[in-house]
């Protein structure tokens, strides 16, 4: 058991560590004690993760001498609701957990979003530790403090900013991920490839197959670099007032695509489709050259992508008008000029939005 890397995340509201390594879950109690956190543990665990790793999880926590309760979550986008939030809060209450509680979130992005929201509002806030078990959550969503639920089919429309007390990324969990989950996590890695720098882009582009073979050295490095970059962004802009918006590259399209698919599209796959659309829109808006467009499309098109089966484009626009990044009733896009050169708060006409969606449909179906 060895911690391979530690990253310090510093925000205005809280500073905390992200630990990254293989088979490091047994150290979670050590860190809870070392950081003098609360000892009563309420663990929200993705039921699939528990089924696959029950012995590992229970053995890692069994020697904990204070109160502990396991709450199993059926983890899908439909669970990310006020009803799902209410059920967690009810379980906290019925098991007599007070403010001296630390909530452990063990699962992917859905688990983290919902459990984090519960931790942020239960008794006006209890301590929180994220233990991401998917590539998407490890590389992206477990860090940064965003929590939320879906409402009326609008993605993450209600939520809070609530930083965890620490994050423990145990890459052992990735070994049991199905291909669809690896595919989903790769979508966020592709996002980082575009918004960070050319070295990161080239590393992902040239070693794409290593993601799916779970090459240990490559996965550890790419997760570390993603978290390091995200940490540098949120340290400057915790509440998405400006710079942090770059982390939403591709997401204006993606959230609409997810909602319209009734969440049959996994988030990372929707992000990849959204990135393709954002690249087309960047070129249409004159921000990205046609030469770069052709080159950049090569990376997201390496993914196995579902077709965009939609005819009613007005529904896409309707969801986009409900996007959290909008201002003054206008849809705001995050567009790309070059690798690492992202432009935020771009408004375009609806005709160019629909053009970008149509071009995405065409190129994915080829």
Closest alpha carbon to 299 in 195, 158, 147? 195
List the catalytic residue out of 240, 318, 326, 341.
240
Catalytic-residue membership of 87: no
The residues with which 68 forms a beta bridge, in sequence order, are 41
List the catalytic residue out of 53, 80, 267, 359.
267
List the catalytic residue out of 22, 156, 183, 248.
248
- What is the distance between the alpha carbons of residues 2 and 22, in angstroms, rounded to a whole number? 7
List the catalytic residue out of 155, 244, 245, 284.
244
Catalytic-residue membership of 255: yes
Joined together, the tokens standing for residue 193 give 């490839």
- What is the distance between the alpha carbons of residues 171 and 138, in angstroms, rounded to a whole number? 8
Phi, psi of 355 (to 5 degrees): -60, -45
List the catalytic residue out of 53, 80, 130, 230.
230
List the catalytic residue out of 80, 146, 191, 266.
146
Catalytic-residue membership of 124: yes
Catalytic-residue membership of 251: yes
Q: How many alpha carbons lie under 13 Å from residue 246 in its C-beta half-sphere?
A: 23
Catalytic-residue membership of 69: no
In angstroms, the Cα distances linking 258 to 28, 68, 295, 350, 359 are: 34, 35, 26, 19, 18
List the catalytic residue out of 53, 130, 191, 251.
251
Catalytic-residue membership of 244: yes
List the catalytic residue out of 77, 188, 225, 238.
188
Catalytic-residue membership of 172: no
List the catalytic residue out of 2, 65, 124, 351.
124
List the catalytic residue out of 53, 255, 284, 359.
255
**Positions marked active-site:** 124, 146, 188, 230, 240, 244, 248, 251, 255, 267
């Amino acid at each position: 058991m060895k911690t391979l890397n530690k990253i310090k995340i510093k925000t205005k509201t809280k500073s905390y560590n992200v630990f990254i390594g293989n088979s490091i879950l047994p150290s979670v109690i050590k860190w809870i004690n070392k950081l003098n956190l609360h000892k009563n543990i309420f663990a929200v665990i993705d039921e699939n993760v528990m089924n696959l790793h029950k012995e590992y999880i229970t053995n890692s926590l069994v020697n904990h001498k204070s109160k502990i309760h396991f709450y199993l979550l059926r983890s899908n986008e439909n669970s990310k609701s006020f009803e799902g939030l209410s059920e967690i809060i009810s379980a906290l209450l019925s098991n007599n957990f007070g403010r001296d509680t630390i909530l452990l979130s063990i699962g992917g992005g859905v688990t983290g979003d919902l459990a984090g929201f519960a931790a942020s509002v239960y008794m006006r806030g209890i301590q929180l530790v994220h233990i991401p078990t998917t590539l998407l959550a490890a590389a992206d969503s477990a860090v940064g403090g965003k929590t939320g639920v879906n409402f009326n089919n609008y993605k993450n429309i209600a939520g809070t900013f609530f930083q965890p007390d620490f994050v423990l990324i145990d890459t052992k969990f990735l070994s049991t991920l199905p291909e669809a989950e690896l595919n989903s996590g790769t979508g966020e890695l592709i996002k980082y490839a575009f918004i960070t720098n050319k070295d990161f882009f080239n590393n992902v582009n040239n070693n794409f197959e290593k993601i799916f073979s779970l090459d240990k050295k490559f996965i550890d490095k790419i997760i570390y670099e993603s978290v390091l970059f995200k940490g540098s962004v949120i340290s400057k802009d915790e509440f998405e007032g400006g710079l942090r918006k770059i982390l939403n590259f591709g997401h204006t399209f993606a959230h609409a695509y997810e909602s319209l698919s009734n969440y049959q599209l996994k988030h990372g796959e929707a992000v990849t489709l959204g990135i393709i659309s954002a690249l087309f829109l960047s070129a249409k808006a004159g921000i990205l050259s046609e030469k770069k467009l052709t080159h950049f499309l090569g990376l997201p098109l390496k993914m196995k992508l579902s077709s965009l089966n939609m005819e009613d484009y007005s529904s896409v626009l309707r969801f986009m008008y409900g996007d959290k990044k909008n201002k003054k009733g206008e849809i705001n896009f995050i567009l790309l000029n070059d690798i690492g050169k992202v432009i935020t708060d771009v408004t375009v006409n609806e005709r160019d939005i629909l053009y970008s969606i149509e071009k995405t449909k065409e190129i994915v179906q080829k």
